[in-house]
Chain A
Amino acid sequence: MSKATEPWQTAEIAGPKKALVIPKPSVVSAMIKRAENPVLIAGHLASEVELVNGKPMDYVIRIAKTAGIPVVATAHTPREFLKRGFRVDTWMPAVDIANRLTDADWQGVNGKGHHDLALFVGLPYYMGWLILSGLKHFSSGLKTISLDMHYQPHASWSFPNLSIQDWESNLEIIVKDLGGE
């Protein structure tokens, strides 16, 4: 296993089914474009981590606006989005939105039916780990993508372990690929 695809936290071993590594950011934008009803879930670290040109939540806003994806903010993150003039679609605890995503009958954040793609960013690594595992095992018809800077093996797709600079660069490319400014 290369260092880039080791779980970030030591001793966390996922099992036989591990996330495919996102080889280039355009894979993410392609999956978003192909998805019928994607959803973006932003945890509190999206508003805390400092990138060169802002915070991860700035990219969440740009992706959401560009691709028209509903955003679920967890923890106290809605407040931080509002400071940027962005109103999220809903607030929900992280385990609550994850639980709903396992329900094939749930009509989704936007009432348009079951989400077929969920993108996660900004949850504490171990919480993201567990939630993505729950979705891997108990959701049907859902693909998950971790947009965080560390490899999350329980996602369907994940970035490898990245430097902050490479991570930000990837997020920027996704926005541009989707047609954003």
Chain B
Amino acid sequence: MSVKIKELKSDLAILKDFELSIGKLVEEVWAEEPGPTPFPSVTDLREWDLKVLQRYRPFYMPWCDVCCLCTFGKCDLSQDKRGACGLNMAAQQSRIVLLACCIGAATHLAHARHLVEYLVEKYGADYPIDIGNVEVEAPVTRLVCGIRPRDLGDLEEVLDYLEGQVTHLLSATHTGQEGSNIDFESKVLHAGMIDQVGMEVADMAQISAYGFPKADPDAPLAEIGFGVVDPAKPVILVIGHNVPPAIGIVDYLTDKGLYGQVEVTGLCCTAHDITRYSPKAKIVGPMSWQLRFIRSGVPDVVVVDEQCIRADSLVEAQKIKAPLIASSDKNCLGLSDRTSDDPDRIIEDLVNGNVPGALILDPVKVGEVAARTAIAVAPKRLKFKALPDVSEVTEGAKRCRKCDECRRACPNDLPIPEALAEAVGGDLGKLAALYDECIGCARCESACPLDFPLHSFIVKAAEKKMKEEKYKVRVGRGAIQDVEIREVGGPIVLGEIPGVVAFVGCSNYPKGGEEVAEIAMEFAKRRFIVLTSGCAAMSAAMYKDEEGKSPYEIHPGGFDAGSIVNVGSCVSNSHIAGAAIKIASIFAKRRLRGNYEEIADYVLNRVGAVGVAWGAMSQKAASIASGCWRLGIPVIVGPHGSKYRRMLLGRKDREDDWFVYDARTGDRVYVGPAPEHLFYAAETKEEAMVMIAKLSMRPNDTTKGRSIKLTHYIDLSKRLLGVMPDDVHLFVRTKADIPITMKDEVTQILEEKGWKENRIPDPTLLPRMIRRRRG
């Protein structure tokens, strides 16, 4: 509530522009009883964390032997040494993981705060939250905070709590604070949970205010790929994760009747979100397409907002003479702040090349300036590109010293020198072949002693292939409807839908993005529910079957077996966690409100969900993953994910680790290693596919469900690894679990292993969930 007084004269004083704000009065008429941990502090869920971490213990893989975070250092932590502050290597590694997750969570929270403040200013604090046909509209927020946000103003209160928590967590990484690696890990899990809420806040705000698809299984298809952009038109490229400036562009063009005449294209999550606003906008590709698209010369204006943007975007834009507009306080790029300037003057400066770019912190003004600048500059630029001619490639190849520095700098160890050697004779085939596996980092160029633009060489060689990139992606649908959860909640919890697998995260792939599409298609065919978000959702689209159809054209977008469901941008990841939470709420009637531990226990033991971040690169991906861990959802990362330097691994050979309570009796019951790991880096896609099937098993599976899941696990293992899994006996609880088609084979293994029949409990790790104790 706020009271504003413009001017008040009394005998005591004269008040001018007086404003009194009283904290928001939350009118809470929610019938659901509050749970034990609303707005949990850093330690409120520590007991749950310790249970999880007792089973899934950290395995640390330090990059190097030292710590260099304070002036005591560098400190050598090798071989059980402690640093000058007293910290050992395990704690130091977990500290770094916590730092990464705090960075990730802070990034989403700052994004959410920025977005909510802007939308409150634009639409008012009482603008209602409406994300579609859902009763449980904010499952993560309800679960963590114990409140039910109704309008944009309520989200500000949630953000106040989240920001406080991240501050506490970050402070724990200071020298002389936390000393236990396990407590650092507990804080990592807290950071992830906080991040999940922040993402949900951001996406609820933008879905509600901007009218994005509202839990729509039939969200429209948008175009994706380099080849879908019409270079004959003025082209605006937006990059980043905060959509208001891109919406400003679409609105301006629409208002002026110019939208069809100018291409609005995007990279990364802003691209997802702009297609959620206007499916006519086009997605170029995931973040690894930044350099190749800019250097192609197609964009006439580059607009950057925040997150995952190359720090040299201004340098690259200048190479093609494209003005750049920075639109976020997170990423000012050294540009003059022109927010208060007359648009005419800014445009004149940009079009005439007086300045390389401008910082404009007003999304509406960005819209006008970007649109008018693109239209004015396009005829002057004539799509000036920064790609070499074929002759320049071959001449460069002739001068190559074969020093191998490019290959040694390449994260994927691509054989660039060999490809260059082939190019000497004019054959660019080997260079073109590198295109699919190139992550677009350009470290090869920085390493080259002759300053060859090697990334551009690769892009030039693959120019034809690049122009043929034309696919369809289903626009991010947002949340999952309650009615969908009602339909599939039972089959998921009973195991009859073999799993929910979510492809999330960045594009730091070991062998190109096509692997994401291949894995997603395989599991959709196996009747898993396949979810996608962020760059992974884009990579999943960039694939065609024999009929020329993309995965999103082949598979429906509803939350059901066999679907491929794009929820949207990075912040839409919250709907994936939200779906798992809603299964507990809607299907199992568990209370959500401030009841985190019970719901996480439910998800870990019953919901066969697995996250896959095949190209995980960022700190945000780390915090997104940690939000899944605390909720009991295992996450598989690609081989580059090993660089997060800590895994959470179960030990299936330690029988004691795999007991749960039977909530019906209080008995402790062995349930096998289900799921076996909580966080693990797979080496190849084949391995990942086997492990997705394996990590989908849960103690609560019915015999029919377990039989289905075992069928997938065994079948994939035999097909892709060439072997019968050696741990099948650990997953068979009763003979009814044995897949009928594999009965003889599995039975023989059980006999060899001395297997004994067990029972299927009502599984929980929480003693308080036991309904009746024996005796």
Chain A residues close to B by CB (< 8 Å): 8-17, 43-44, 74-76, 78-83, 90-91, 93-96, 98-100, 102-103, 106, 123-127, 129-131, 133-134, 136-138
A15-B78, A127-B639 as given contacts; A93 in contact with B65, CB under 8 Å = no
* Interface pairs A-B: 3 shortest CB-CB: A15-B65, A79-B722, A76-B686
Provide the bound-state CA to CA distance between A99 and B409, in Å. Answer: 28
Contact A93 B59 (CB under 8 A): no
* Interface positions of B from 627 to 669, Cβ below 8 Å from A: 639-640, 642-643, 645, 647, 649, 651, 653
Cα distance, A138 to B78, chains bound together (Å): 9
* Bound CA span A129–B408, Å: 14
Asked, given contacts A76-B684, A76-B721, whether A133 binds B63 with beta carbons under 8 Å apart, the answer is yes
7 A-B residue contacts at CB 8 Å? A9-B408, A10-B447, A75-B687, A76-B687, A82-B723, A95-B680, A99-B59
A133 to B60 CA separation, bound complex (whole angstroms) = 9
State which residues 719-775 of B face A: CB under 8 Å: 720-723, 725-726
Complex contact A90–B726 (CB within 8 A):
yes
Partner of A10, one of B59, B79, B408: B408
* Contacting pair B645 A130 (CB below 8 A): yes
B189 to A: closest C-beta gap in Å? 19
| Partner among A93, A123, A130, A138 whose Cβ is within 8 Å of the Cβ of B680 | A93
Cα–Cα distance between A180 and B579 once the two chains are bound (Å): 57
A79→B721 contact, CB < 8 A:
yes
Q: Is the CB of A98 within 8 A of B723?
A: no
Residue of A nearest to B689 (CB): A76
Cβ contacts under 8 Å, A137 to chain B = 60, 62, 65, 77-79, 89
A78, A102, A124: the one within 8 Å of B721 (CB): A78
Residues of B in contact with A, size category: 35 or more
B408 to chain A: closest residue by CB: A10
Residues of A within 8 Å of B721, CB to CB, are 76, 78-79, 91
B405 at the interface (CB under 8 A from A): yes
List of A residues within 8 angstroms of B722 by Cβ: 76, 78-83
Inter-subunit contact A124/B78 (CB<8 Å) = no
Verify B682–A93 contact, CB threshold 8 A: yes
Evaluate contact between A16 and B683: CB separation under 8 angstroms: no
Expressed in whole angstroms, the minimum distance between the Cβ of A93 and any Cβ of chain B is 6
- Considering residues B408, B647, B653, which has the most beta carbons from chain A within 10 angstroms of its beta carbon? B408
Q: Is the CB of B409 within 8 A of A127?
A: no
Q: Measured between C-beta atoms, what is the minimum distance from A139 to chain B in Å?
A: 11
Is the C-beta of B510 less than 8 angstroms from some C-beta in chain A?
yes
Nearest neighbor of A106 in chain B, beta-carbon distance: B653
A104 to chain B, nearest CB (A): 14
Contact of A94 among B79, B90, B683 (CB under 8 A): B683
Q: Select from chain B the residue with minimum beta-carbon distance to A132.
A: B61
A76 vs B89: C-alpha distance in the bound complex, in angstroms? 32
B78 touches A127 (CB 8 A): no
Instruction: Report the Cα distance A81→B721, complex, angstroms.
Output: 10
Contact at B66–A16, with CB atoms within 8 Å? Answer: yes
Query: What separation, in Å, do the CA atoms of A24 and B18 have in the docked complex?
Result: 83
- Cβ contact within 8 Å between A134 and B62: yes
Q: Are B683 and A78 closer than 8 Å at their CB atoms?
A: no
Contact A123 B723 (CB under 8 A): no
Q: Given A79-B722, A93-B680, A138-B90, are A130 and B61 also a contact pair (CB < 8 Å)?
A: yes
- The answer to whether residues A15 and B64 also contact, given A10-B405, A79-B722, A95-B681 and a CB cut-off of 8 A, is yes
Residue of A nearest to B725 (CB): A91
CA distance A85 to B651 in the complex (A): 30
Closest CB of chain A to B689's CB: distance in Å? 9
B64 close to A14 (CB less than 8 A): yes
Across the interface, which residues of B come within 8 angstroms of A124, CB to CB?
413, 510, 639, 683
Residue of B nearest to A48 (CB): B684
Tell me the bound Cα distance from A42 to B305 in angstroms: 44
With A and B bound together, what is the CA distance between A83 and B681 in angstroms?
A: 26
Residues 76-115 of B at the A interface (beta carbon under 8 Å) = 76-79, 89-90
Q: Please report the C-alpha to C-alpha distance between residue A94 and residue B667 in the assembled complex, in whole angstroms.
A: 35
Report if A100-B683 is in contact (Cβ < 8 Å); known contacts: A15-B65, A130-B63, A138-B60: no
Q: Determine if B680 and A13 form an interchain contact, defined as CB atoms under 8 angstroms apart.
A: no
Instruction: Choose from A9, A74, A103 the contact partner of B683 (Cβ within 8 Å).
Output: A74
- From 368 to 426 in chain B, residues with beta carbon under 8 angstroms from any chain A beta carbon are 405, 408-409, 411, 413
A17 touches B59 (CB 8 A): no
- Give the chain A neighbours of B613 by CB distance below 8 A: none
Shortest Cβ distance from residue A111 to the other chain B in the assembled complex, whole angstroms: 11
CA distance in complex: A13, B651 (Å): 31
Would B78 and A17 count as touching, CB distance under 8 A?
Answer: yes
Q: Does B691 contact A (CB under 8 A)?
A: yes
Report whether B649 and A96 are in contact in the complex, using a CB–CB cutoff of 8 Å: yes
Q: Are the C-beta atoms of B687 and A133 separated by less than 8 Å? A: no
Taking A8-B408, A138-B90 as given, write out 5 further A-B residue pairs in contact, using a Cβ cutoff of 8 Å, ordered by the A residue number. A15-B78, A16-B76, A96-B677, A129-B63, A130-B62
Q: Which residues of B contact A129 (CB under 8 A)?
A: 63
What are the residues of chain B within 8 A of A8 when measuring CB–CB? 408
Chain B positions 478 through 496: 1 when the CB is less than 8 Å from some CB of chain A, otherwise 0:
0000000000000000000
Q: In the complex the two chains form, what is the Cα distance from A143 to B468 in whole Å?
A: 51
Q: Which residues of B contact A106 (CB under 8 A)?
A: 653
Who on chain B is nearest to A14 by CB? B64
B415-448: contact bitstring with A at CB < 8 Å (1 yes, 0 no)?
A: 0000000000000000000000000000100010
Interface centre among A14, A16, A90, A136 (most CB of B within 10 A): A16
Residues of A within 8 A of B645 (CB): 130
Q: Which of B78, B642, B723 contacts A91 (CB 8 A)?
A: B723
Complex CA distance for A28 and B721, rounded to whole angstroms: 29
Please tell me if the beta carbons of B651 and A100 are within 8 angstroms of each other in the complex.
yes
Taking A44-B684, A130-B642 as contacts, is the C-beta distance between A91 and B409 under 8 angstroms? no
Nearest neighbor of B684 in chain A, beta-carbon distance:
A75
A8 to B409, CA, bound (A): 9
CB distance from B75 to the nearest CB of A (A): 10
Decide if B683 touches A43 in the complex (CB within 8 Å): yes
Which residues from chain B contact A79 at a C-beta distance below 8 Å?
720-723
Alpha-carbon distance A74/B683, docked complex (angstroms) = 8
Chain B residue at minimal CB-CB distance from A92: B726
Cβ of B683 and Cβ of A75 under 8 Å apart?
yes
Separation in Å of the B727 CB from the closest CB of chain A? Answer: 10
Q: Once the chains bind, are A74 and B64 in contact (CB under 8 Å)?
A: no
Contact A95 B642 (CB under 8 A): yes
When A79-B721, A96-B680, A126-B411 are in contact, do A134 and B59 touch as well, CB less than 8 Å? Answer: yes
The answer for the CA separation of A133 and B61 in the assembled complex, in Å, is: 6
The answer to whether A126 touches B639 (Cβ under 8 A) is yes
Q: Are A99 and B649 in contact (CB under 8 A)?
A: yes
In the assembled complex, the Cα of A126 lies from the Cα of B510 at a distance in Å of: 11
Complexed CA–CA distance, A83 and B721 (Å): 11
- Return chain A residues, CB-CB under 8 Å to B77: 137
What CA separation (Å) do A127 and B640 show in the bound complex?
8
CA distance A74 to B62 in the complex (A): 21
Report Cα–Cα, A94/B681, bound state, in Å: 8
How distant is B644 from chain A, measured CB to nearest CB, in Å?
9
Closest B residue by C-beta to A13: B64
Q: Which residues of A contact B62 (CB under 8 A)?
A: 130, 133-134, 137
Q: Which of B78, B510, B680 has the most CB of A within 10 A?
A: B78
Specify which chain B residues have a CB less than 8 angstroms from the CB of A127 in the assembled complex: 639, 642, 681, 683
Bound together, the chains give a CA A52 to CA B522 distance in angstroms of: 36
Q: Return the CB mask of B41-73 against A: 1 if under 8 Å, else 0.
A: 000000000000000000111111110000000
What residue of chain A has the Cβ atom nearest to residue B405's Cβ? A10
Shortest distance between the CB of B355 and any CB in chain A (Å): 34
Distance (whole angstroms) from the CB of B773 to the closest CB of chain A: 33
**Chain B neighbourhood of A75, CB < 8 A:** 682-684, 686-687
**Cα–Cα, bound, A129→B640 (Å):** 12
Which of B62, B447, B680, B720 has most A Cβ within 10 Å?
Answer: B62
Bound complex: CA A133 to CA B647 (Å): 13
CA gap between A16 and B683 in the complex, in Å: 28
User: A95-B680, A95-B681, A96-B649 known; A136 and B639 CB under 8 Å?
Assistant: no
Which residues from A are CB-within-8-Å of B725? 91
Q: Are A17 and B680 in contact (CB under 8 A)?
A: no
B90: which A residues are within 8 A, CB to CB? 138
